[in-house]
Structure 1
Amino acid sequence: METSRMNLSADAVFAFGKSDIASISDEGRDQLDRLVARLQRIRDVRAVHLIGYTDRIGSDGYNDTLSRRRAEAVRSYLVAHGVSDAMITTEGRGAADPLVACPDLSGSRLRACLAPNRRVAVSIVAMRHIER
């Protein structure tokens, strides 16, 4: 088995603070369409795991819900475009596992700095080598 991992930027896919399919941007649809095409090219896909993350701004409860809903929205998009629902799992981890810390910033500078933390991590598990 081989696993391939990638991150979808939540800022590119969703409007800030949003998690519904209707709020997916054109850039987000392009990213998701490329993911669908990649999944269709890979033979023997066994699982696709989607993990939503947020930045640290906001309450834990809000961020946990937002991250889960974003992962679920990506799942819905993939399923609507032909990816088997049975192989997709989702979870939301809120502000856990940040990629950047951004100490000593506030306001719009903090929000911009924390952008890498707002993401949906995609793990694709396949029986054979996965083309990068």
Structure 2
Amino acid sequence: MTKMLKLSALAAALMVSASAYAVKPGYLTDQATDNVVRNNYGECWRTGTFDKAQHGLVECGDRAPVAPVAEAPKPVLVAVKEKVTLSAKVLFDFDKATLRADAKNELDPLVARLKGDANLRGVEVAGHTDFFGTEKYNQALSERRANAVRNYFVANGVPAEKVTAVGKGESETQLTQQCQAQKLKRTALKACVEGDRRVEVTIDTSKESVVQQPAK
């Protein structure tokens, strides 16, 4: 009977030991806490099956800690303004505010872009003239030209509430001084300041931009 009891106790001990090894393979563990058993020096108790490549634990110094995975940059909407400059010579006849037939070749790509922009916030159409003529006349001409372009956008599907028109007249000429300094005759001077006769379309929209999260 005594022999049978000893065998039973041995078998139970082996089962306990086997289950302890299975919790964290390669280490002896405390069944009650699942913690690795340590010796008097605080070192983890490794079993005979220990393999550092397969069983190494960070807590036992057998494996380097895994570096935290950096958060992927998150896309956010950022406000963007872009200015597109159109030559008044292409859009209008000289001193006129009615769109030429071939103006659509310049305006239709813009219309398609504006209609397809789900993040469109607004569009400003600004008319500009050269310095020829009175300031009052040029102001009125620039306003009529800006409204002509705005009306084209709206008539072709761009939301009316998002499109504004403004006339700048001759207040923002860019070539006047440079061209006048050349002492050109009237016809040549008009050609020189052609760039001042323009329509500027400012597109206010939002675009996705990736923002890197600050390191923690």
Size of the aligned set, in residue pairs, is: 126
Q: What is residue 129 of structure 2 aligned with on the other side?
A: 54
Q: 3-state SS of the aligned residue for 2:81?
A: strand
Cα drift, residue 42 of structure 1: 2.4
- Rounded Cα–Cα distance in structure 2 between residues aligned with 1:6 and 1:47: 14
* TM-score, length of structure 1 as denominator length: 0.90
- Rounded Cα–Cα distance in structure 2 between residues aligned with 1:39 and 1:91: 18
Equivalent position amino acid for 1:72 in 2? N
Q: What is residue 201 of structure 2 aligned with on the other side?
A: 122
Q: What is residue 110 of structure 2 aligned with on the other side?
A: 35
4+ runs of 1 displaced by more than 4 Å? none
Equivalent position amino acid for 1:126 in 2? T
Q: What is residue 154 of structure 2 aligned with on the other side?
A: 79
- Rounded Cα–Cα distance in structure 2 between residues aligned with 1:107 and 1:34: 35
Q: What is residue 112 of structure 1 aligned with on the other side?
A: 191
Contact 1:43–1:128 (CA<8 Å) still a contact in 2? no
Equivalent position amino acid for 2:147 in 1? E
Runs of 5+ unmatched residues, structure 1: none
- Rounded Cα–Cα distance in structure 1 between residues aligned with 2:100 and 2:165: 21
Mark the structure with the bigger radius of gyration. 2
> How large is the Cα RMSD of the aligned pairs?
1.2
State percent identity of aligned pairs.
37
- Rounded Cα–Cα distance in structure 2 between residues aligned with 1:91 and 1:50: 6
Runs of 5+ unmatched residues, structure 2: 1-78, 209-216
Cα drift, residue 26 of structure 1: 3.4
| 1:15 and 2:93 correspond | yes
Q: 3-state SS of the aligned residue for 2:207?
A: coil
Q: 3-state SS of the aligned residue for 1:86?
A: helix
* TM-score, length of structure 2 as denominator length: 0.56
Superimposed CA distance per residue, residues 44-102 of structure 1 (whole angstroms, 9 cap, x where no aligned partner): 10000011000000111110000000000000000110001100111101111112121
